[in-house]
Amino acid sequence: MKDLFSKRWFRVVIGLVALVAMYSMARYQRRTGPTWPVPVAETLAGAEVSGELIRTQPGDEDARIAVTVTSAETQGEVVWRRYPMPEEWGHLPMAREESEGTSELVAYLPNQAAAAKLEYSVRLWQSGEEVTLPHGGTAVIRYRGEVPAWVLIPHIITMFFTLWIVFRAALGAILGETAVRRFIPSILGFLLFGGFFLGPLVQKYAFNDWWTGWPFGTDWTDNKTLAALIAWLLAWWIARKWPQLQRAGVIMATVVMIIVYLIPHSMGGSELDWESMEIETGRAPSATID
């Protein structure tokens, strides 16, 4: 197997396999976690209801909560309160908006400070029937600042390019490639640039904090990046001190990296403490759900 690494076609194949693994992880990251919208597909009194309930809101605009309806008789409201505050629920009536043959029921949750969260549900009724979305609970939306594309796009590309190199190094280590330690400086370089230079910039724009992980906080996103860096620094040290163990070091650090990426993005992220700060919420929830 070692001899195959001298052939260019085999190295290309290994690189493509690593690319597929990276793409699969990217899709997983995109579709999991607390910011991915909650899909809606419902039938109410014979009419269809569809759409997505958003769970993140950038910028300084109110959050647009909308569902598409096929019946002119469907009515609704958004029921909401600050999260995780045990307070009265507020009610926002949903207005009908028509656009290019599509009919939507829409309400706007008031804009909040960065890292503030609201929980909400959509209550619809028609012809004596009623449904509350999402089923079995509420959707939680987190507000954040607008992150410029020149920061966010390079951050995302760099982090997943790092993961591609990680998978390439791991495949080499598993299949017996001898000099896998040559990948470690590139992994560390891209990880430092994407996670510890661009990452804090994203955090600053989004939540007005440079770093909220250890030792200053418990933000999972920051701590995951820190765990990955420590693992690859350890792999680098092992490869320098005991070259014969470089493959084991790479595999160990890759396992840590995979665990890091399997934890959904933004899980356990920045969250405003309502009780410690006086926040202007725009509208105080006071009505009780019927």
- pLDDT one-digit tens code per residue, 118-139: 999 999 999 989 999 998 789 9
Domain 38-146 top-level CATH class: mainly beta
Percent of the chain at pLDDT above 90? 67
Any idea where the domains of the chain sit in the sequence? 2-31+147-262, 38-146
Report helix, strand or coil for 90. Answer: strand
Q: Count of residues for the chain?
A: 290
Number of other residues whose CB lies within 10 A of the CB of residue 56 = 17
Please check whether residue 196 is in contact with residue 42, taking contact to mean a CB–CB distance below 8 angstroms: no
Read off the pLDDT of residues 214-273 as tens digits, 9 standing for 90 and up: 777 777 778 888 999 999 999 999 999 999 999 999 999 999 999 888 887 666 667 787
Q: What is the dihedral of CA 15, 21, 27, 30, to 10 degrees?
A: -90
Is the dihedral angle over the CA atoms 197, 198, 199, 203 positive or is it negative? positive
Q: At what angle do helices 220-241 and 199-207 cross, to 10 degrees?
A: 170
List pLDDT tens digits, range 36-83.
Answer: 899 999 999 889 999 999 999 999 999 999 999 999 999 999 999 999
Q: What tokens does 83 get? A: 């999260």
